[in-house]
Amino acid sequence: MKVKRSLISIALIALLLVGSAGLAFAQKAATIIPEVVSGTGMVASAHPLSAKVGLDILKAGGNAVDAAVATAFANGVVEPNANGLGGEGYVVIYLKGENKVTSIDYRSRASFNTTTAKTWPAAGHLGVAVPGTVAGLAMALEKYGTMSLAQVIEPAAQLAEEGFVITETLAGQISDNFKRAMPNKYLMSLIAPDGLPLEAGDIYKNPDLAKSLRLIAKEGIDAFYKGDIAKAIAADMKANGGLIDENDLAQYKAIEREPASGTYRGYDIVSAPAPVGGFLLIESLNMIENYDIRSFGFDSAKKLHLFAEVLARAFDDYYDVLGDPDFVNVPMKALTSKGYADAKAASIKLDSMTSVYEHVNPNSEHWSTTHMSVVDKDGNLVALTQTLSSFYGAAVAVPGTGIILNNEMGNFNGKKGTSAYLPGKRMNTTIAPTLIMKDGQAFATLGTPGAMRIVPTLAQLITNLLDFDMGLQQAIEAPRMYCTNLQGPGKTTIELEGTLFSAKTLADLTTMGYKVKSYDKRDLYFGGVQGIIIKDGMLHGGADPRRDGAVFGY
């Protein structure tokens, strides 16, 4: 009965919103989730309740930045496993009136305090980096929004205080992370208040988080970085072997950066720059552009093999070149140039596998994180991705605050050279909130979680849209692949949503020397895309059935 309550609650929200949306209506298509179309404004998020918050902000006169910030704060409440005040992220913004694109880096960073640690734990206080969410969202709002911090935070505070029905997805993450959470009594009080993990259909409340949110709304970001919340975080760190102190929090700053940019098939691609993965996406698309993949066929071993070869070459730069641009020189213009990609692509053979691009074990990579996309009535676009790193981050919550902390320090593990750990440094990840423009006009806002699958998923999504002429929802639901480690025939594993590809494709890949790992359905391992495209003057929204995604427009 609890599961049914969860599903019914989400369904009712969707029906009420679509029913009240005026111009919004569900497009008839052969997809699991109907593509939503509207004419004024739209929000796509990984949870229907946070999408509703964003829609309400748009209807109240807020712009895309106001709505995205409100959605992000709310999503930190309803997807506490994936993001929140103790996490970080990146946002890419297009302002139509100014014809301007920009991005805000609110990545977490290492403490300034030194340590002899050689590796960083997946759980526990030592793995926590200085959170950036509050600073980044507040900067976006102050510079490009129209509403107050109190206005955009209050809906999130109400959700935390009043509670919400737990979905099957969240219940699964609570169960999967129950053992990790057990050493932290305060986190256990949030996800297992009666000693057993909360289940689908139960009500999740976090009144302490509501108090923290309202304190930030009242006092601004200083409440988090210099005030009572900062003191609580620093005290908890000191008591449990963490590195972060009050100085680390007081010195944290979000940074506005020029986005990474490139082109693909005549479209402009704008994505998040170093130290994250937007350049990897652009570099991959630049290589793919050398081939007529439409003639290969969507469901073909040849196309999948090409993607594996391309992605392996792009990720070579992730490990060898990318780093915090405040510490190292990252040649973004060169990395995203056509000539550089053409030179890399020149060694690809469509009938045989390269054996020189070997990276980390892909199965060691978590698939947390979350994404939201917004378009407003004036044509402004926002793509925002934020995370705790692993689901439930470091499995640490700060007593009295309701705040769950990230485990971003683990992203330094195994990194050398430009991406190696240093005190005060931001670590690399592959998040890539992305905008697409055409002839100076906005076309799409897209993004996904999925760790090392983020760039592969977005490359597939964009080619689905631009090479295979799919609608957005169809492009999101299309089967996905993942392979960035090429270790030679008989040693290289390509991961597929196997039952969604033809038997011939799987057989052809095996003949080429790939070891095929098949997932028997659409799996959240491959991400959870949320996106909006603008076509013929209408907004088309897509949500991923691999998560609890929802799109609402009016």
Which pLDDT score is estimated for 359? 61
The model's confidence at residue 548, banded by pLDDT at 50, 70 and 90, is confident
Summarize pLDDT for 35-59 with one digit per residue, the tens.
999 999 999 999 999 999 999 999 9
Mean pLDDT, residues 373-383 taken together: 97
Least confident piece of the model among 315-319, 399-403, 459-463: 315-319
Q: 3-class DSSP state for residue 88?
A: strand
The confidence band for 366, taking pLDDT boundaries of 50, 70 and 90, is low
List Cβ neighbours of 119 (8 Å cut-off, separation of 6 or more): 413
Question: How many residues would you count in the chain?
Answer: 554
- Which of 8-22, 356-370, 475-489 reaches the highest mean pLDDT? 475-489
What pTM, to 2 d.p., does this model score?
0.93
Q: Determine which of 15-19, 408-412, 431-435, 439-443 has the lowest per-residue pLDDT on average.
A: 15-19
Q: For residue range 247-285, list pLDDT tens digits in order.
A: 999 999 999 999 999 999 999 999 999 999 999 999 999
pLDDT tens-digit map of 478-515 = 999 999 888 889 999 999 998 899 999 999 999 999 99
Phi and psi dihedrals of 295, rounded to 5? -70, -25
Residues contacting 280, CB < 8 A, separation 6+? 314, 315, 317, 318, 430, 432, 455
Cα distances from 520 to residues 60, 458, 496, in angstroms, run 43, 21, 9
Catalytic residue among 71, 369, 370, 429: 369
Look at residue 393 in the predicted model and tell me its pLDDT.
Answer: 95
22 has a pLDDT exceeding 50: no
Instruction: Check pLDDT > 80 for residue 361.
Output: no
Spatial contact of 302 and 296, defined as CB atoms under 8 Å apart: yes
Between strands 493-496 and 515-518, the pairing is: parallel
Q: Does the pLDDT value for residue 303 go beyond 60?
A: yes
Note the pLDDT of residue 315: 92
Q: Supply the mean pLDDT for the chain.
A: 92
For residue 178, give every residue at least 6 positions away whose Cβ sits within 8 Å of its Cβ, in sequence order, or none: 191, 192, 197
Residue-wise pLDDT for 80-121, tens only, equals 999 999 999 999 999 999 999 999 999 999 999 999 888 999
Reported as a pLDDT band with limits 50, 70 and 90, residue 3 is: very low
Query: What's the average model confidence in pLDDT over 290-299?
Result: 96
Indicate if the pLDDT at residue 15 is higher than 50: no
| CA distance linking residue 196 with residue 175, whole number of Å | 9
pLDDT at 357: 67
Q: Under 8 Å CB-to-CB from 479, ≥6 apart: which residues?
A: 299, 496, 497, 500, 501, 522
pLDDT for position 234: 98
Q: Quick check: is 369 catalytic? A: yes
In this prediction, residue 414 has a pLDDT band, given cuts at 50, 70 and 90, of confident
Backbone Cα Rg of the chain = 22
Please list the residues that pair with 46 across neighbouring strands.
Answer: none
Cα 213 from Cα 156, distance rounded (Å): 8
Q: Which of 386, 330, 367, 353 is nearest to 487 (CA)?
A: 353
Structural domains of the chain, with CATH: 2-23+44-256+372-419 (no CATH), 257-365+434-553 (3.60.20.40)
CB 467, CB 404: distance < 8 Å: no
- Tell me, what's the pLDDT at 416? 87
CB–CB of 360/413 below 8 Å? no
User: pLDDT > 90: what percent of the chain?
Assistant: 85
pLDDT computed for residue 367 by the predictor = 57
Average pLDDT score over residue span 165-189: 95
